[in-house]
Amino acid sequence: MRDRRLWRFMACEKMWKGTMWMGITSFCCLLSRLCQ
């Protein structure tokens, strides 16, 4: 489970860097960090 969360976090962070202009992605990353 932990590995899956880490992978999801990495994917989300990478996606966020690739699409910084997307508020939805940024919000998703924020929620992921808070949920962690």
DSSP conformation class of 2: H
Amino acid at 13: E
Domain ranges in the chain are 2-35
Characterize 5-33 residue by residue with b for buried, 16 or more Cβ atoms within 10 angstroms of its Cβ, and e for exposed. eeeeeeebeeebeeeeeeeebeeebeebe
- Closest to 26 in 3D by CA, of 14, 15, 16: 16
pLDDT digits (tens, 9 = 90+) for 1-36: 578 888 888 887 887 677 666 677 778 778 888 876
pLDDT digits (tens, 9 = 90+) for 17-26: 776 666 777 7
Residue 24 Cα distances to 1, 2, 3, 18, 27, angstroms? 25, 24, 24, 13, 5
